[in-house]
Chains A and B, each alone.
Chain A
Amino acid sequence: MIQVENLSKKFADVQAVKDISFRVEKGKIWGFLGPNGAGKTTTMRILTGYLPPNEGWARINGLDVGSDLKSIKRMVGYLPEVVPVYSDLTVKEFLRFVAELYGIERKKIRFAIDRVVEKTNLQNVYGRLIKNISRGYRQRLGIAQAIIHEPEVLILDEPTIGLDPAQIIEIREMIRSFKDSATVILSSHILAEITQVCDGAVIIKEGRLMATLTRDEWGKNLEIVTTGMASGTDWSDLQQAFPVISEVRAEGQVLKLEFRETLNDFNKIIKYLIEKDIRIKEIKAGLEALYMKVILAEEGRAS
């Protein structure tokens, strides 16, 4: 479990993180969501023991990131935004080095390397120099080095940035598979990624916590942007067809649905609307709507 309480970090003249609190239960995947420079990386660096906080505290499985640094570092696997690899080593040599860094016993190193190579599908580039492998393999190698010591907590900073769509899907699936063995935190500025992979999200902007959202919350609403919808359309039939819908509101061309319980599959509703000849332009899953609400509300308060 990860607990963060009133965490603040200040650099010379920049308040990078201010008063952030949240908690992630064991075996869950949580996302850090926010624009670039919001403080996601700084928070992650504090959790990995790379930076000490100025105020507040963070605990991982009950251990403090400030005072139990050595245990924390053994417990946490970390993929920084820029994959930390030595381009003049081969994949094999690099993984061996990381295994030694984490103090894995000599006779178990071979086994540990085989395990992560298989898990991250690096077999094809195993003997190659890192400078000669592609961006996708490099990212997978970054994940491999983060999980080589079987961490209980995995922290991934923008794990899918700069990858092509096929690679993104592959990495996302890989991240989901870690759920069995680890608590995961990942950062992203792609909403769809958080919706697909995470159980909850922390929205950070300018170093401050804007909102904490869970899958239960964002799974409970949906926004459908349509074209050519006549105003004053009666939607009671939709509610009758899907009792799970607790409220339907039409705001201009946007149809807003709220559900009584978390809904992971909207396909039937969409199909129903299409059959009713509603032309759908865009579907905003719940998180997107909530995210915009939070960010806009904040901007409204500021101005």
Chain B
Amino acid sequence: MKDIWTITKKELKSFLYSPIAYILTAFFLLVSGFFFYNILVWANDQTMRMMQSGQGLNHININQMLFEPFFNNMTIILMFLLPMLTMRLFADEKKMRTEELLLTSPLRLSAIIIGKYLTALIIYAIILLLTATYAIFVFVYGNPELAPLLTAYLGLFLLGAVFIAIGLFASALTENQVIAAVISFSSIILIWVISWVGESGPEAWRGILTYLSFFSHFKNMVSGVIDTQDIVYYLTFIFLGLYLTRSIFEFRKWR
């Protein structure tokens, strides 16, 4: 545990000294803020219309009208943003040849990998926490339900945690940060839409591919439903990402 923290502490320091973390946070908030504002305007408009047409207030659900589309949009931003957060984690060590320092130290390889993973996770959690300010405004002026909102946040956090695991793996593959970002970005998109193949393919594949896709698991959580199956899916994916990262290092020793 102490070993993991040694790495995390150093990585956080590097992130905070470089402009990357700040720029990513600023742009994430700018873009997500823009989305939120537009969805808010749209939801407001819809509510007005529904009231005018006399459809009654019981049909209006702030969570459904505001947060669901907002979270769906956020996932798109995360697909772009998180690869940029993770791309340097190992690629930079290789490029600067500092990898040798880490790998000849008595630290276990898993501690190094988890330490790096944790760093990206912490920064991501902070960014996510900052978007909670939008929700606070909604609570001040309206009365949305808290529980489904928290579930959606948990879903978004886990989804991002999977993206980060993929990004970490991609970063271990190359010493070029841009290549790492491209690999993680395209892997995320492919896994996202893999269910499309299933829809037109044979019956047996459909179930598997739909299960593999992020999309089906995220949908439930955004609408406020927690299913252990989804949590297991995310955790498996994270474990797999970290395990494969480890394998890369083991493999390279013999190459």
On whether the beta carbons of B104 and A145 are closer than 8 Å, the reply is no
Q: 0/1 per residue, B107-136, Cβ < 8 Å to A? A: 100000000000000000000000000000
Q: List residues of B (1-36) whose CB comes within 8 Å of A's CBs.
A: 3, 6, 9-10, 13-14, 17-18
Docked Cα-Cα span, A88 to B104, in Å, equals 21
On whether the beta carbons of A80 and B97 are closer than 8 Å, the reply is yes
Main secondary structure of the interface of B (DSSP, over half): helix
Which one, B6, B96, B102, contacts A87 given CB within 8 A?
B96
Residues of B within 8 A of A217 (CB): none
Determine whether B189 belongs to the interface, using a CB cutoff of 8 Å to chain A.
Answer: no
Docked Cα-Cα span, A48 to B105, in Å, equals 9
Nearest neighbor of B100 in chain A, beta-carbon distance: A80
**Interface bin, chain B:** 20 to 34
Q: List residues of A (1-33) whose CB comes within 8 Å of B's CBs.
A: 11-12
Main secondary structure of the interface of A (DSSP, over half): loop
On whether the beta carbons of B13 and A50 are closer than 8 Å, the reply is no
Which one, B17, B105, B255, contacts A88 given CB within 8 A?
B17
On whether the beta carbons of B255 and A101 are closer than 8 Å, the reply is no
Docked Cα-Cα span, A50 to B104, in Å, equals 6
Determine whether A89 belongs to the interface, using a CB cutoff of 8 Å to chain B.
Answer: yes
On whether the beta carbons of A74 and B104 are closer than 8 Å, the reply is no
Determine whether B98 belongs to the interface, using a CB cutoff of 8 Å to chain A.
Answer: yes
Nearest neighbor of B250 in chain A, beta-carbon distance: A52
On whether the beta carbons of B255 and A12 are closer than 8 Å, the reply is yes
Docked Cα-Cα span, A84 to B101, in Å, equals 6
Residues of B within 8 A of A103 (CB): 3, 106
What are 7 inter-chain pairs, A to B, with CB distance below 8 A? A11-B255, A73-B105, A78-B100, A86-B14, A88-B14, A88-B17, A101-B102
Q: Which residues of B contact A (CB under 8 A)?
A: 3, 6, 9-10, 13-14, 17-18, 96-107, 253-255
Q: Which residues of A contact B (CB under 8 A)?
A: 11-12, 45, 48-52, 70, 73-74, 76, 78, 80, 82, 84-89, 93, 97-98, 100-103, 145
